[in-house]
Structure 1
Amino acid sequence: MTGVPLSVLDLAPISAGSTPSEALRNTIDLARHAEQWGYRRYWVAEHHFVGVASSSPAVLIGAIAAATESIRVGSAAVQLGHHTAAAVVEAFGTLDALHPGRIDLGLGRSGQRRAEALAAGQSGPTPEPRRETVIRDGLVIPPPFALGALLSSARLAAGLGALQQPGAQAPDFTQQVDDILALIDGTYRTPDGVDLHAVPGEKARLQTWIFGSSAGPSAELAGRLGLPFGANYHVSPGTTVEAVEAYRAAFRPSEVLAEPYIVVSADAVVAETDREAEELASTYGHWTYSIRSGQGAVPYPDPRGAVPLTDHERELVEDRLVTQFVGAPGTVADRLAALQRVTGADEIVVTSVTHGHRERLRSYELLAREWGLGLRAA
């Protein structure tokens, strides 16, 4: 099979019984292999106080870029609620100075979104979600997941507090993106008229992206600014199609893009057979439940000896289970092709998490071969 380019999204997951140090070494190893197997980009996430080691994307991107030769490396995404525009531009400007033309700056609103929800006390009524699952041209589109209870969890509030200076307020997302673009362009001016120039950062050859999960401010802003957009099917499969449609509707040509450019993410586990892949992915629901229940991602559970999910636990993560792409190479490639057809994605981003690092490597390798990526000789 041949299709649009594939990229990797890596959370640097810590397996149960392992350590953050080992998880980070596994990330470097996977990045080297992904480059060899023909993946276009290597994205890292930003998560804090949970069982993954991707809490500092700029530092991790630097390590990955130094360990590889040509693959683009980026953030999917920097949570702007935890950073100033200047800090982001200087950090990624440094990366671009060391690895020119290879760095993607992905920006996300999740930090602001959570802070806004907590400030507003968002635990009350929310719009009634669509309740039925839709199958569109082979793609499963489940009902949207209601985030209210999760966004207002005490643990999440504590984490947000630890990530900000006392009394600090998350700035407006649109304004922060505008400031980042101005700092990179060299046109930034403070409200009282002082010109500031980021060093490094100004005129950096960064490719700036916006990531989002719904037809909300992120999709609209990416379209209005003419920036590439990343839609998170692996996080919010029930709202991805609407996000893509909103981005296209808002799109205005820019110096960056003449027409919309979209990447869409998917969870996938690939093995030699469907049955083997299903066994490897059998604790994905447990891991997702730890996130959805508000406790934060636990170290990825070992399928051996794992207790089955209860009916209540499974109900909370059902939308993620039915939209994880699990199986032999052909099975997963067919489902990814459906995702690409329905969303019109220009690239697909694959995140594959297993308890064993060897199995995770094999998942990406099998998919690359099935998809027809340009594998390089080892």
Structure 2
Amino acid sequence: MSKAIRLSVLDLAPILVGGTASDSLRNTRDLAQHAEAWGYHRYWLAEHHNMPGIASSATSLVISHVASATNRIRVGSGGIMLPNHAPLIIAEQFGTLESLYPGRIDLGLGRAPGSDQPASRAIRRGAGNDGQDFPDRLAELRSYFHPAPGSTPSVRAFPGEGLDVPIWLLGSSGFSAQLAGQLGLPFAFASHFAPDYLLPALQIYHANFQPSTSLSEPYIMVGVGAVVADTDEEARYLATSQQQQFLNIIRGRTGQLNPPVEDMEPLWSPQEKALLQGKSSHSLTGTPSKVQARLEEILQETQADEIIATSQIFDHQARLKSYQLLSEAAAPFVKVN
């Protein structure tokens, strides 16, 4: 590889069939502590609503839960869905987090609702809010951290004002890629569920990039699904929990994370199988040696600066082992912090 990368964790805080949110949050804390010991660079959590299988809806609270249990690893959002919130509230929340855990907090932002329409209405997003005002909301949020020189704003964020909380834009299409490039912000692409548009979005980001006080050159994070085990057979077996979850999503259902199954064939149609296999084109599933080879291909293809891996594995110990094996497989590519 021509450059070293960073390796990070995206934890979707899965609530298991037969488990509780308390169990999920304990597992999140435990995984974060292990990830720090294994050299992962950052640990992100995502905002979702009206989903009984995800425990991170109050994302800022869970970030604090993780940061309080760790010492060095960066902790942040992957992401906060900005259309759901008043920018002032997010500035205050992340200003508070940065004040509690200085130099360790990231603010990743998305423009999707992270929920279905009933939940979006319950969050009081307002009729017709489709994310098109995201650039204006982003500008307002950034102004709370760093007001324009000489300005005397009537509303200020405390804590928040004057703090350097890195802002990332997240996306699965070209909209946020273009905006991140124009603003000179780091960009994270959700190729763990939308791989088809990965390379076009990265091209848009590079084509639009303007150096800023945040970045002098583009910085790209690529999201991947990862299930690593001692054998390919075990990895494929463990990965069926995530496949069942994706299957429910495309059928318009939500639910808790199911245990793995020996055979997915009775559960999906040929069309659903083809669709799910397409969504896993940038997943890392298999033994450490197989995963290492596929990871190198992804890095060559994308020239990413960072990989962020999510692992929807039912058994917590198997999930821990997967992340440990992934850190070992990625070691030849990872820069030492």
TM > 0.5: yes
Cα RMSD (Å) of the superposition?
2.4
State the 1:274 CA deviation: 1.0
Distance in 1 of aligned mates of 2:329 and 2:127: 52
1:6 equivalent in alignment to 2:7: yes
Residue of structure 2 in register with 1:196 after alignment: 155
> Which of these residues, 88, 94, 101, is aligned with residue 96 of structure 2?
94
- Give the counterpart of 1:178 among 139, 145, 155: 139
Give the Å deviation of 1:284: 2.2
Q: Is the CA contact (8 Å cut-off) linking 1:74 and 1:103 kept in structure 2?
A: yes
Range 200-209 or range 278-287, more displaced: 278-287
Partner of residue 36, structure 1: 37
1:219 is matched with 177
Change beyond 3 A, Cα 1:165–1:235: closer
* TM-score normalised per structure 1: 0.82
Aligned residue pairs: how many?
330
Residue 83 of structure 2 contacts residue 125 of structure 2 at CA under 8 Å; is this kept in 1?
Answer: no
Deviations along 1:258-281, whole A, 9 cap, x unmatched? 100111010010001111111111
Residue number in structure 2 paired with 1:65: 67
CA distance in 2, matches of 1:166, 1:247: 30
Query: Residue type of the partner of 2:22?
Result: S
Instruction: Tell me if the contact between 2:237 and 2:261 (Cα under 8 Å) persists in the aligned partners.
Output: no
1:249 maps onto 2:207 in alignment: yes
The CA deviation string for residues 199-256 of structure 1, in whole angstroms up to 9 with x for no partner, is 00111121111011112x2111111111111011102100011111111111000011
| Aligned partner of residue 280 in structure 1, secondary structure | helix
The 1-side partners of 2:117 and 2:79 are apart by: 20
2:208 aligned with 1:261, yes or no? no
Alignment gaps of 5+ in structure 2: none
- The whole-number CA distance in structure 2 between the counterparts of 1:25 and 1:168 is 38
Q: Does 1:52 align with 2:9?
A: no
Partner of 2:164: 205
Quote the offset at 1:313 in angstroms. 3.1
- Which residue does the alignment assign to 1:325? 284
2:323 to 346, 358, 364: 364
Contact kept? 1:233, 1:264, Cα under 8 Å: yes
Provide Cα deviations, 1:103-162, integer angstroms capped at 9, x if missing partner: 000010112xx8xxxxxxxxxxxxxxxxxxxxxxxxxxxxxxxxxxxxxxxx92212111
Q: C-alpha separation between the residues in 1 aligned to 2:28 and 2:169? A: 23
1:79/1:165 CA distance change after superposition, 3 Å: closer
Q: What residue identity is the alignment partner of 1:61?
A: I
CA distance in 1, matches of 2:150, 2:118: 34
SS at match of 1:332: helix
For 1:175, give the aligned amino acid.
D
Distance across 2 between alignment mates of 1:32 and 1:26: 10
8 Å contact from structure 1 (residues 209, 228) kept in 2: yes
- Structure 2 counterpart of 1:143: none
User: What SS does the corresponding residue of 1:302 show, helix, strand or coil?
Assistant: coil
Deviation track 1:1-32 (CA, whole Å, cap 9, x = no partner) reads 99411000000011211111101110000000
Q: Is the 8 A contact 2:292 2:330 kept in 1?
A: yes
The sequence identity of aligned pairs, in percent, is 40
Shift of 1:293: 2.0
1:164 to 103, 124, 142: 124
- Which deviates the most, 356-365 or 303-312? 303-312
Distance 1:321 1:228, change over 3 A: closer
Q: Is the 8 A contact 1:16 1:300 kept in 2?
A: yes
Q: What TM-score does the superposition give when structure 2 sets the normalisation length?
A: 0.91
Residue type of the alignment partner of 1:283: S
